[in-house]
Structure 1
Amino acid sequence: MAYGPQDCLISQGADLREAGEHAVLMQWSVERQRQHLFLHPYPRRGYAKAPDRSGFPIRPRPAMLLPEEDPSTLALRRMNEVTARVQELGEALDMPTTLWEHLRAAWDRAEKEEDPRMAEIVRQARELMPTLKIWRDKIRRVLRRTRELTPLDRVQEMDRSSMRWLSRQPGRTIAEQAGAGQRILAVVRHENFDTLENRVAHSYLRLVGDVGREWLAEHPKALGSARYLAVQAYVKFCKSLAQEVTQLGVGLAPTDITPNYVLMEDQTYRAIREAWEKLLRREKALDDLWAWQAQTWTDFSVLAIVLALHEMEGAELIAQSPIRFREEAVQGIWFEQERPIAVFWLRRENRVVEVMARPEEPGIMLIKARAHVALRISEVNNTSAFPHRVAVWTPHAFERLDVEAAAHDASHRLAQLRRLSGHHELTRHGLILTPAHYTPQVAKHEVSGTFIHAVALDGAGESLAFGRAAVRDFLKSDIWTLA
């Protein structure tokens, strides 16, 4: 049976070769046989068909004029918003001592629709303007040698071909051979700007226009924001500069050029080439993000939980994992970190809570719950007590999930697992974080002292503000009791 857009693309199996395209979320052993929980990507152009997936929207290209209400357009918008929230972690890492404060400020701004998302074009608008101004003033040119009929008093150089031409002209002196126009064939040098490095710069200017206009069109309500004004000014500058180099006769470079010495070693041209290549890789990167956006959603959910803990009254960050942020996501994952990503001490409860994202050894209860994110709560004054875990699920699908049904099913599942004997683990409560599709909602369900909060939220605007508040409310509830 094929996966559909209403499904989370998750399966379980032992054979990695038969799983098709996948990432491993969790793994464990049953009777000495290794089992895996697989996440499969959403389909994209030009990739393997297995596992069977049908009815999914394909990521729209910039040239596709689709209405704003089109499902694929909305899905791309949601993906970009979630990706932007995760990418803001990379910016916040520039100040590691105040990492979470800066990330919280960025997410606070994202709750307002007039604050546009971070993107590569925004970074380049901030960083490349001085480089392009330097290039405009010192654009590289070469002297091309050509043969032309030149007035006698301006002749500076003759080669063998021009001298042969002169020898064939009638007359006894050079003046007679020059004829009535007093011109002879001579070598003339002309400035020429149509070099490979200038063609790369011209191609970059044109690409900035396309990418920048697309980004500006995504944020019609952000006219007064600093990011919007920076990109708008950069696009305008690049458009004007592209017209100038067109008048100089500079062509466009193909995307598969081999960089020459100037593009590799000249500081200005190298910066332009690298920026051009980043924008060119953008299409492939977007395809990969589209396919693996369920992984990006998990990272977004983990950051939302850490920020909510950071905002709790009496919570103190006592340990933080080193985080390495990548330039490009790998299977939708933007950053690497040790486990746990963050550790908080709750003064009032006198407990330590660890945020576990994709733990290598999740424990039998989380494995049976199929939760690859969790909170691990420990008693400070009772080291012999078994830690308590709060299961966190991050389901992602192209169609909106029924959060009421999800909360109901998850609470019954955890209640059943609590009755299992022989396990030195306690998992009493759970949190579900799922995309809201711009209809935020909270659903709660309790069975025999086990309760679940299911929160539907998005990566920007009021839906983000609603979801963050709901996560904070969950953390304020009675999840810290270890008994």
Structure 2
Amino acid sequence: MREVDVGIPYGPAACLVSETGADVPRGLEHAELMAGAYRGEARKLLLHPYPKRGLGVNPLRADFPIRPPLNREPKTEDEEFAADTLRRMNEVLARIQELEDALDDPVSLWPRLRDAWKRAENEADPRMAEIVKQSREIGPVLQDLEHRIRRVLRRTRELTPLNRVQEMDRASMLWLSRQPGRTVAERAGPAQRILSTVRYENFDTLENRVFHAYVKLAALVAREWQREHRRAQGSDRFRMVDGFRLRCRAIARDLDDLGVGVADAGVTPNYVLMQDKGYRTVRLAWERLLRRERILDDLWAWQAQTWTDFAVLAIVLAIDELEEARLIAQSPIVWRQEAVTGRWFDQDRPLAVFWLEETRRIVEVQARPEKPGALLTLARAHVSVRITDPSRSDVPRRIAVWTPHAMERLDIQDAVDGAATTLAEIAQIASNEVMRDGLILTPAQDKPEHAISSKGKARVDAIAFDASGDSLRLGMEALRDFIRRDIWR
């Protein structure tokens, strides 16, 4: 943690978090995580985005990977690293987006979300994504359009044998009147051809250009999804996406042969694209994929925000799994159509409140507090768990939760030692609550790990885990063990 220094760039190993006073430097790219105060001095915790093109200024960032384009297979070590980073980002995003489906039934929100995350622990059951939905829904539409690709008859003038002339316009008649001879046959000359109007089939219409743009983009997105789920090749979902990709590529070749161009993003739809059911469905699907690409750029920059939301949901699920836990309050969760600085949903504070029937304690999960106390401000933790025993007069106990995210894997033993030292120092400060316990949740990058460190009465656990497969399963097991142990501590 440091203040922004314009002369020292952040690198891929940095978490891109800084601390400032009340005044944030003008033009600084950031999202405010928490604004608190200690002894009357304002302190703000800021998160800075990953640069989209490898370099960034204000603050200075250098040597970051660039989000891989859809049409390129990774060849170099740097490209492999970027592809792995994108895969992990998409896995976290999938866990967050499963919350949207679970919100359809608010009464069973957390059980439904927990079931979805359980399925994600099996890598042979690949994640749901926009391209998977389109493979199922758009496949029949493509089959229908293949057999009725719209075409128009374009008129042109050319010399035509007399026996094949079907139509003449004013310009053709003028041409004929200027030719020497008294009869049409004489005016046709030795070749017996006259200028007439000829109609040719033309497939290069706006609706077909949109159709062409869609199948090209859909094939690329499907290939990217398959590359991220190689271990699921035997699943029905994988086979469905593969079949959809092959059909899209075949249609793209046919449209190329017919001379159909590719529409640019942002074209104004014509009557056919708005009224024809098949073409309208394709246009809307194309726009969703285009919007996905635009959203991914923003999510790439703000992965740390998405990771924090993932970590908060993991904590709620771990508490909800306790047999004695009863959800007694939950803030409204408002889902956004598009992510804003990496965040897909808004909620009030606390996110969830549980009553432990046997332990007789209240447990609150809080994220990005509006008015953090002195201890949270000093700990620079914008997520926490608050534990209260209403039957006793003891002050509440708070668990500080850090959610560091970096492009490169963090040394969690080093992180947990530093956090334990910080908590031991903070524990000496007089306050209306106790904070001796801490939790670090960070991406494992395919190497799950659990570390513990103690300094005096302070104890901190660090759990490195991912958003799918065995890494998710091991991480959730470690998190559940931490919750069970620490609530009774």
1:350-409: CA deviations, max 9, x gaps?
222221121212222211211111112233546x76433221111112232222232222
SS of 1:165's partner is helix
Count of residue pairs brought into register by the alignment: 479
One of 182, 186, 195 as aligned partner of 1:185: 195
1:214 alignment partner in structure 2: 224
AA in 2 matched with 1:195: T
Structure 1 residues 320-339: aligned runs within 5 Å: 320-339=330-349
AA in 2 matched with 1:389: R
Q: Compute the TM-score of the two structures, normalised by the length of structure 2.
A: 0.89
AA in 2 matched with 1:7: A
Change (3 A) 1:23 1:265: farther
1:246 alignment partner in structure 2: 256
AA in 2 matched with 1:9: L
Whether the aligned pair in 2 keeps the contact of 1:66 and 1:73 (CA below 8 Å) is no
One of 394, 407, 418 as aligned partner of 1:398: 407
Shift in Å, 1:451: 2.0
SS of 1:456's partner is strand
Shift in Å, 1:138: 4.0
SS of 1:221's partner is helix
Whether the aligned pair in 1 keeps the contact of 2:35 and 2:372 (CA below 8 Å) is no
1:114 alignment partner in structure 2: 124
Change (3 A) 1:23 1:255: same
AA in 1 matched with 2:45: L
Structure 1 residues 69-468: aligned runs within 5 Å: 70-150=80-160, 155-174=165-184, 176-178=186-188, 184-255=194-265, 257-264=267-274, 266-381=276-391, 386-421=395-430, 423-468=431-476
Change (3 A) 1:291 1:380: same
Q: Compute the TM-score of the two structures, normalised by the length of structure 1.
A: 0.90
**Which deviates more from structure 2 when the two are superposed, residues 150-159 or residues 185-194?**
150-159
Q: Distance in 1 between matches of 2:18 and 2:472?
A: 29
1:338-357: CA deviations, max 9, x gaps?
22222222222122222112
1:199-238: CA deviations, max 9, x gaps?
1110111122222222212222111223312211111121
1:304-337: CA deviations, max 9, x gaps?
1111112112212233332233343221212222
Q: Distance in 2 between matches of 1:183 and 1:317?
A: 87
AA in 2 matched with 1:40: H
AA in 2 matched with 1:209: A
Change (3 A) 1:445 1:193: same
Change (3 A) 1:227 1:89: farther
AA in 1 matched with 2:233: L
Shift in Å, 1:153: 6.2
AA in 2 matched with 1:396: H
User: What runs of 5+ residues in structure 1 fail to find an aligned partner?
Assistant: none
**Which deviates more from structure 2 when the two are superposed, residues 248-257 or residues 35-44?**
248-257
**Which deviates more from structure 2 when the two are superposed, residues 215-224 or residues 66-75?**
66-75
Q: Distance in 2 between matches of 1:472 and 1:65?
A: 37
AA in 2 matched with 1:13: T
One of 54, 59, 64 as aligned partner of 2:62: 54
Q: Distance in 2 between matches of 1:272 and 1:259?
A: 12
Whether the aligned pair in 2 keeps the contact of 1:19 and 1:51 (CA below 8 Å) is no
Q: Distance in 1 between matches of 2:334 and 2:107?
A: 15
Change (3 A) 1:267 1:364: farther
**Which deviates more from structure 2 when the two are superposed, residues 133-142 or residues 219-228?**
133-142
Pair 1:469 & 2:477 matched: yes
2:74 alignment partner in structure 1: 65
Whether the aligned pair in 2 keeps the contact of 1:67 and 1:73 (CA below 8 Å) is no
Whether the aligned pair in 2 keeps the contact of 1:443 and 1:454 (CA below 8 Å) is yes
SS of 2:245's partner is helix
Q: Distance in 2 between matches of 1:46 and 1:397?
A: 14
Q: Distance in 2 between matches of 1:182 and 1:352?
A: 98
**Which deviates more from structure 2 when the two are superposed, residues 211-220 or residues 27-36?**
27-36
Shift in Å, 1:469: 0.2
1:90-116: CA deviations, max 9, x gaps?
233334333222322222222222232
SS of 2:316's partner is helix
AA in 1 matched with 2:473: A
Pair 1:8 & 2:15 matched: yes
Whether the aligned pair in 2 keeps the contact of 1:204 and 1:276 (CA below 8 Å) is yes
Whether the aligned pair in 2 keeps the contact of 1:431 and 1:454 (CA below 8 Å) is yes
Shift in Å, 1:280: 3.4
Q: Distance in 2 between matches of 1:25 and 1:109?
A: 31
User: What runs of 5+ residues in structure 2 fail to find an aligned partner?
Assistant: 1-7
Shift in Å, 1:454: 1.0
